[in-house]
Amino acid sequence: MKVIEKPRQATTDLPDAEALIREARQRQRRRYSVFAVIVVLVIAGASTAVAIVTEAVARIRGIGQDRPGVRIGPAVRSVARGLDQLAQSRSRL
């Protein structure tokens, strides 16, 4: 049978203990801040992409034709065509 020693307790009599804790908390806040900024950027990018595709599809379908002279490129047309095909295939189900 083995005897397990009690774990040592952290002592606060170290001269730099408070500075170490302060530094750890500062690093944790920095990590959380960086993570929050990344999440915001991902959400902003995704919503921008959705807005661009939605507007392009609306232009191709003729919704909002009150803006004459707006030209649509072939890439946008192919995306809109693919979305139309997807919508039609789902409506058949």
Q: Is residue 26 part of a domain?
A: yes
Question: Which residue do the tokens 């707006």 mark?
Answer: 70
* Residue type (1 letter), 80: A
Residue 7 belongs to a domain: no
Share of residues in the chain with pLDDT > 70 (%): 70
Kindly report, residue by residue over 16-56, the tens digit of the pLDDT. 888 888 999 999 999 999 999 999 999 999 998 888 888 77
Domain membership of residue 2 (yes or no) is no
Estimate the share of the chain in helix, then strand, then coil, as percent rounded to the nearest 5: 70, 0, 30
Residue 38: inside a domain, yes or no?
A: yes
Predicted TM-score (pTM) of the model is 0.48
Residue 57: CA atoms inside 13 Å, Cβ hemisphere, count? 15
From CA 57, how far away is CA 75, in angstroms rounded? 11
Model confidence at 5, in pLDDT bands (50, 70, 90)? confident
User: Exposure of 62 by Cβ count < 10 A (0-12 exposed, 13-18 middle, 19+ buried)?
Assistant: exposed
Average pLDDT, integer, range 48-65: 74
Which residue range forms the structural domain that includes residue 85?
A: 18-64+72-92
The number of domains in the chain is: 1
Residue 78 in any domain: the answer is yes
Task: Judge contact between 72 and 56, C-beta under 8 A.
Answer: yes
